[in-house]
Structure 1
Amino acid sequence: MNLTILGCYAATPRTFTNSTAQILDIKNRLFLIDCGEGTQVQLRKNKIKFSKINHIFISHLHGDHFFGLIGLISTFMLLGRNTDLHVHGPKGIKEIIKLQLKLSNSWPTFNLHFNELEAKESVVVYEDEKVIVRTIPLKHRIYTNGFLFEEKVEARKLNSQVVASYNIDKCYFQNIKNGKDITLDDGRVISNGELSLDPPVPMRYAFCSDTVYNEAIIPLIKDVDILYHESTFLDSEEALASKTMHSTAKQAATIALKAGVKQLILGHYSTRYDKIEIFKEEALTVFPNILLAEDGRNFSF
Structure 2
Amino acid sequence: MKIHILGCYAATPRTFTNPTSQVLELKNQHFLIDCGEGTQVQLRKQKIKFSRINHIFISHLHGDHFYGLIGLISTFTLLNRENDLHVYGPVGIKEIILLQLKISNSYTGYNLYFHELSSTESEIIFEDEKVQVKTIPLKHRVYTNGYLFKEKNVKRKLNLEVIERYKIDTCYYQKIQFGGDVTLEDGRTIPNAELSFEPDYEKSYAFCSDTVYNEDILPIIKDVDVLYHESTFLETEAHLAEKTMHTTAKQAAQIAKNANVKNLIMGHYSTRYGNIDLFKEEAGTIFENIHLADDGKSFEF
TM-score (norm. length: structure 2): 0.98
RMSD over aligned Cα atoms:
0.9
Any unmatched runs of 5+ in structure 2? none
TM-score (norm. length: structure 1): 0.98
Q: SS at the partner of 1:100?
A: helix
Alpha-carbon shift at residue 182 of structure 1 (Å): 1.9
**CA displacement 1:241-286 (0-9 Å, x = unmatched):** 0000000000000001111111110000011111111101111100
- Structure 2 Cα separation of the partners of residues 161 and 135 of structure 1: 42
Aligned to 1:6: 6
Aligned to 2:217: 217
Aligned amino acid, residue 200 of structure 2:
P
Aligned to 2:26: 26
The within-5 A match list for 1:151-230 is: 151-230=151-230
Aligned amino acid, residue 185 of structure 1:
E
Aligned amino acid, residue 177 of structure 2:
K
Q: SS at the partner of 1:186?
A: coil
Aligned to 1:61: 61
**CA displacement 1:157-181 (0-9 Å, x = unmatched):** 1111111122222222222112122
Aligned amino acid, residue 43 of structure 1:
L
Any unmatched runs of 5+ in structure 1? none
- Structure 1 Cα separation of the partners of residues 220 and 142 of structure 2: 20
The within-5 A match list for 1:28-177 is: 28-177=28-177
- Structure 1 Cα separation of the partners of residues 217 and 232 of structure 2: 18
Q: SS at the partner of 1:141?
A: coil
**Identical aligned pairs, as a percentage?**
69
- Structure 2 Cα separation of the partners of residues 70 and 171 of structure 1: 49
**CA displacement 1:52-92 (0-9 Å, x = unmatched):** 11110000011000000011011111111122111100111
**CA displacement 1:191-236 (0-9 Å, x = unmatched):** 2111101111111110000000011111111111110000000011
Q: SS at the partner of 1:250?
A: helix
Aligned amino acid, residue 136 of structure 2:
I
Aligned to 1:236: 236
Alpha-carbon shift at residue 183 of structure 1 (Å): 2.3
Aligned amino acid, residue 10 of structure 1:
A
